Structure 1
């Protein structure tokens, strides 16, 4: 499968590149068909109390877990200790799972586009093997977040989540949320209303901000895409991390206005992801018809 070529307009604008990436996400799930959520009541991020007596996820179709990137992504989630300050240990099996995951995502259209885009912008080697090494450095190389040795990496923080004291940091992935909620480790207590646009969200929203506790520790707000493939999120954050200007990259994806926020850990071997997540600004009604077309 040939890599989708970025257009000159996309190379000049990450807004246009983000729209193209969304259109290329062939493994994205369909709400009401492949999964269902139940947002219930909204609140501000400063409000406490349970506004959602039921779980966020009603269910996800079993067939989803046969998709290669979903299967291998799932295998990565138990490789990390959530407590900051506890040094991570990565053995041969964990390294193989990382390698297998990156091999799988690099075969998808969204990651092929991400690679090509970063090459054309001068931020990556044209060699797939070298780009894979760059992704390992960015996402999976450990660093010290809270003392006590190398206790964190970008993938762990963003896609798995970490605990620090009595609070949760990171945790910006719907698959991890679904799995941990199913295990009884996550208590969903309501969605956080967007900063602008509608006051209310609905159960077909593809980008939500939520409040929850994880193993008894709280997260006042965490924003994540719902139903997107692991490769889409990795590609989107990688493009913004490597090609964005500054810590915030404004995008229009589906009907949503958002910033992708990226922070980095500088290293002589290459920068590492400290965090990367979508910051939902609101819904732009002018984008809605275009979103439906995708």
Structure 2
């Protein structure tokens, strides 16, 4: 009887120990995934398609509609690219030429480009992620509210807003929604030891420096302008979907982007509207999946708390391969 009791006790202790190990592993993986979502320096820009992964038909219809409504996007003749050499590994420069061979800069006269470029021309952000950004108030806030107003006063964004209403994401009046959307994109938070030096807008449309690495930077317009000034050294490409989008490697004033990607044949209002829809209605790594011109893509988005609500942490495109 004594030995039977001991055996039972040992069996129970063995079960408890194994359950504890499993819980520890699960918790560790969960913490790691959360950290990767918010702070990954090397996001995946190319994913393998999985059987059974379905495209949301309503989302696809929206993307098709926004694409057809995007009268501000460049035509194939407006932007000519030189993809150069294929990057397999390392960070050395394998392409002697720039990525952008030619851009018809007359498209930059359109209001959506003028609004975006005004934020670059005035140097309103500090690239170093560990440097505190100025407070979002006064003339600074008014300028960015004007930028937001320009991007949302487009047929593309109105289609996106109608979709968000139909999906039950918001039932608020347009102006009230814009107020919250401003904080979602421009609310400040920390990516570096408590310093409020980042926002979704800066991360996505401007780009940041985190030590010796480039973080974010998912606007083809800003990339082109920096490359034109000689501030970006193009290394080569990892992949590209025709001239629609691509994942590339480059350095920006000595800060390296090992894998960075952006849409190219789209306007700032399309990018802003698409990223907003994906972040609010289909957040995460693979929930926002669709196709454009026959190319299967996803938008990866993550959020984090800031200024008393949820703010955008990152948004970027991912190409799918068979």
TM-score normalised to the size of structure 1?
A: 0.84
Structure 1 segment 144-159 matched on structure 2, within 5 A: 144-159=190-205
**How far did 1:126 drift?**
4.1
CA shift digits 1:98-122 (9 cap, x unpaired): 1111111222111001111111212
Alpha-carbon distance in structure 1 between the residues aligned to 2:306 and 2:254: 34
Equivalent in the alignment of 1:27: 72
Alpha-carbon distance in structure 2 between the residues aligned to 1:227 and 1:258: 14
Equivalent in the alignment of 1:6: none
Query: Contact 2:56–2:289 (CA<8 Å) still a contact in 1?
Result: no
| CA distance 1:237–1:58, change in 2 (3 Å) | same
CA shift digits 1:263-286 (9 cap, x unpaired): 11024732100000001224x8xx
| CA distance 1:40–1:268, change in 2 (3 Å) | closer
Query: Contact 2:74–2:266 (CA<8 Å) still a contact in 1?
Result: yes
3-state SS in 2 of match to 1:100: helix
3-state SS in 2 of match to 1:113: helix
CA shift digits 1:15-58 (9 cap, x unpaired): 332222222211110122x22221112123x3332221011112
Return the structure number with greater helix share: 2
Q: Which runs of 5+ in 2 are unaligned?
A: 1-54
Q: Aligned-pair RMSD on alpha carbons?
A: 2.0
Query: Contact 2:283–2:302 (CA<8 Å) still a contact in 1?
Result: no
Structure 1 segment 184-199 matched on structure 2, within 5 A: 184-193=230-239
Structure 1 segment 97-176 matched on structure 2, within 5 A: 97-176=143-222
Q: Does 1:75 align with 2:75?
A: no
Query: Contact 2:188–2:306 (CA<8 Å) still a contact in 1?
Result: no
| CA distance 1:175–1:268, change in 2 (3 Å) | closer
For residue 220 of structure 1, the aligned residue among 252, 258, 261 is: 258
Query: Contact 1:72–1:97 (CA<8 Å) still a contact in 2?
Result: no
**How far did 1:134 drift?**
1.9
CA radius of gyration, larger in: 2
Structure 1 segment 87-106 matched on structure 2, within 5 A: 87-89=132-134, 90-106=136-152
3-state SS in 1 of match to 2:133: coil
Query: Contact 2:245–2:265 (CA<8 Å) still a contact in 1?
Result: no
Q: Does 1:258 align with 2:283?
A: no
